[in-house]
Structure 1
Amino acid sequence: MKRIAAIIVAFTLIAASPAAFHWPLPQGVAPPAIPPDNPISDAKIALGRRLFYDADLSVDGTMACATCHEQRRGFADGNVTHAGVHGDPGRRNVPGLANVAWRRSLTWGDPRVTTLEQQVAIPLTGRFPVEMGMAGKEPELRRRLGRDSCYRTMFRAAFPETRGRIDQASVAKALAAFQRTFVSFSAPIDHGDAPAAGAAIFAAKCATCHAGHDFTDDQFHRLRQATSSDRGLGEVTGRIGDDGAFRTPSLRNVSVTGPWLHDGSATTLDQALMAHPNADTADTPALIAFLAALTDNAFLTNPGLSYPDSICRL
């Protein structure tokens, strides 16, 4: 009997284990690092997808993650900044999320936020500024999601190790799992199709900071003398020399993620380019043509990243 019981337990554990996720990556690109306490699974991705589009994650039911991260805009939102549920003005421009799983830091100015699980707390419960307004509201979050039989089933499938416990930590893990599937490697440049003139200028003048397969070094740089109250990296380090330094954004889908720069102050790509110290107006047309080759239309229309076609995905 003991041997039979052991076999049953072992089979149950195998059945509950998430299947390995297949990363659709080009040759030479390694899968992103996954936190050991949040292995990716289809069930977790499906749950995260529904949560990403659910406005019940905001205090008044008016704002979902997708409110500020629109797929057709590369998961940016087209605004200079985005106000929170109480009307608090946003501090910084909403970044696009293409290949966000590979980013070493996940905000414009704070290198300490290094995982998508950590980042979820900033819009969900952050106070400076308030975005979704759920600080101190975890019991309400559990109540809202727990009253939905579909969510209860999806949390059990995604988190068998906790029997489907619904809390802020599991919400963050599911959202992180879904965002790790925001994979974008089907732009013209990924197929070797980019204007040669612009590519040459980019390599000579831009590629030091906009390096690698996502055209970012994930480092913090100052484009110009800091003149606003937003200290950027200096706010975190306390060093005057870091004032005005912000993380180099990925340029994937950059043509559709405007307005640009950390404060959304560049309303055209021309303005964004001219904000750089080595900018030359003569280079602008060729560079803009090159940047257009970074637009991945398959990513912008991928049905697997869009609003779920079925509210209850079991």
Structure 2
Amino acid sequence: MIRAGRLALLLSGLLLAAGAGAARDAKGSAEAQVALGRRLFHDGDLSINGTLSCATCHDPRHSFADGVRAHPGAHGEAGLRNVPSLVNVGSLSPLTWGNAGLTTLELQAMVPITGEDPVEMGMKGQEAELARRLSANHCYRKLFRASFPATRGRIDFASVAAALAAFQRTIVSHDTAWDRAAAGGPPLAGAAARGEALFRGKAGCAGCHAGREFTDLAFHRLPGEPETPENGDFGLARVTGRSEDRGRFRTPSLRNVALTAPYLHDGSADTIAAVLARHGAALSPAEAGDIEAFLGDLNDTQVTHNAAYARPGRSCEVS
């Protein structure tokens, strides 16, 4: 088994070598790259047997999560971690629950596509097959040429990753009741206002869930995290091999958190109240309810209905 850290290095080398042409295509059509990335995001041909697309797990209707504890891979292998939302993912780095080396969307895209620990989309070693599948579609041929003119529209892992990254950077959500209050609009009131005070005070949530995206992007261990978890996931230690990193996971953003249950790295908490308890917060039920009301004001349901993120139609974006 390739350790996750070594996998990140191998993927980085792959993208640096195979993606040199894609990098030179900075002057290619940004609009075409986003359109291409959107099509690829919803396309099951990115998985070995056509059963999974990126959107299978990152469903726009679920705020780019999927509502299950851990999604199985293309061959039915059990998933390891809960699917995080992609809302505002372009502002986040590092990008995953347990690998500080996955700092770009281009690099991260290759993990579900080609990774083996666990197998998700199962396309390791299948770059030629991926190119064959996509090049059979006339719209893809046009979009790759428009997106990557320096390589004459070459279809490979690097260009696929670059297009997926371009699309994901458009998934932006900063229109919530909290954002409007922070910008000088109507302040939060009632339970939500009390909840924010608790969040930033007694509960201590803001120590890690900080800033505009409500994450410090650091790796932490929850109180009471078992030494030997049931699913065998040791978090950051799976990459570093260091015992002190066991059980450390990256702080998730809380944007649209009310729409993305279940919670935590393994999806083992079904409710926000359960999450607060797992964090060791000494709160009354009423106080936990106030914090949940505050977190509800971080919701932007428009992102779940935005047509720009939905599966594209048959009509090609370029002529």
TM over 0.5: yes
Per the TM alignment, residue 93 of structure 1 is displaced from its structure 2 partner at its CA by 0.2
Q: Secondary structure at the match of 2:293?
A: helix
Partner of 2:113: 124
Whether 1:308 and 2:312 are equivalent positions in the alignment is: yes
Whether 1:280 and 2:283 are equivalent positions in the alignment is: yes
Residues 1:70 and 1:279: Cα distance change in structure 2 (over 3 Å) = farther
Per the TM alignment, residue 249 of structure 1 is displaced from its structure 2 partner at its CA by 0.1
Aligned CA-pair RMSD: 1.5
Residues 1:214 and 1:158: Cα distance change in structure 2 (over 3 Å) = same
**Distance (whole Å) between structure 2 residues aligned to residue 313 and residue 74 of structure 1:** 25
Deviations 1:145-184 (A, max 9, x none): 0111111000000111111111111000000000000101
**Distance (whole Å) between structure 2 residues aligned to residue 263 and residue 142 of structure 1:** 34
Deviations 1:252-273 (A, max 9, x none): 0000111000000001111111
Per the TM alignment, residue 55 of structure 1 is displaced from its structure 2 partner at its CA by 0.4
**Distance (whole Å) between structure 2 residues aligned to residue 279 and residue 248 of structure 1:** 20
Per the TM alignment, residue 293 of structure 1 is displaced from its structure 2 partner at its CA by 0.3
Partner of 1:299: 303
**Distance (whole Å) between structure 2 residues aligned to residue 221 and residue 37 of structure 1:** 38
Contact 1:76–1:94 (8 Å) recurs in 2: yes
**Distance (whole Å) between structure 1 residues aligned to residue 25 and residue 118 of structure 2:** 28
**Distance (whole Å) between structure 2 residues aligned to residue 86 and residue 131 of structure 1:** 8
Residues 1:37 and 1:251: Cα distance change in structure 2 (over 3 Å) = farther
Q: Which amino acid aligns with 2:50?
A: G
Structure 2 unaligned regions, length at least 5: 1-21, 182-186
Residues 1:127 and 1:206: Cα distance change in structure 2 (over 3 Å) = same
Whether 1:244 and 2:247 are equivalent positions in the alignment is: yes
Report how many residues are paired.
Answer: 280
Residues 1:157 and 1:88: Cα distance change in structure 2 (over 3 Å) = same
Structure 1 unaligned regions, length at least 5: 1-34
Partner of 1:62: 51
Whether 1:265 and 2:268 are equivalent positions in the alignment is: yes
Whether 1:253 and 2:242 are equivalent positions in the alignment is: no
**Distance (whole Å) between structure 2 residues aligned to residue 77 and residue 311 of structure 1:** 27
**Distance (whole Å) between structure 2 residues aligned to residue 281 and residue 77 of structure 1:** 30
Contact 2:106–2:165 (8 Å) recurs in 1: yes
Partner of 1:196: 193
Q: Which has the higher helix share?
A: 2
Structure of greater relative contact order (alpha carbons < 8 Å, 6+ residues apart) = 2
Contact 1:274–1:281 (8 Å) recurs in 2: no
Comparing 233-242 with 66-75, which one deviates more in the overlay?
Answer: 233-242
Per the TM alignment, residue 37 of structure 1 is displaced from its structure 2 partner at its CA by 5.7
Q: Which amino acid aligns with 2:194?
A: A
Moved beyond 3 Å, runs of 4+: 35-40
Contact 1:226–1:243 (8 Å) recurs in 2: no
Q: Secondary structure at the match of 1:89?
A: coil
Residues 1:109 and 1:311: Cα distance change in structure 2 (over 3 Å) = farther
**Distance (whole Å) between structure 2 residues aligned to residue 123 and residue 151 of structure 1:** 21
Q: Secondary structure at the match of 1:184?
A: coil
Whether 1:221 and 2:220 are equivalent positions in the alignment is: yes
**Distance (whole Å) between structure 1 residues aligned to residue 179 and residue 313 of structure 2:** 29
Q: TM-score, normalised by structure 1?
A: 0.86
Q: TM-score, normalised by structure 2?
A: 0.85
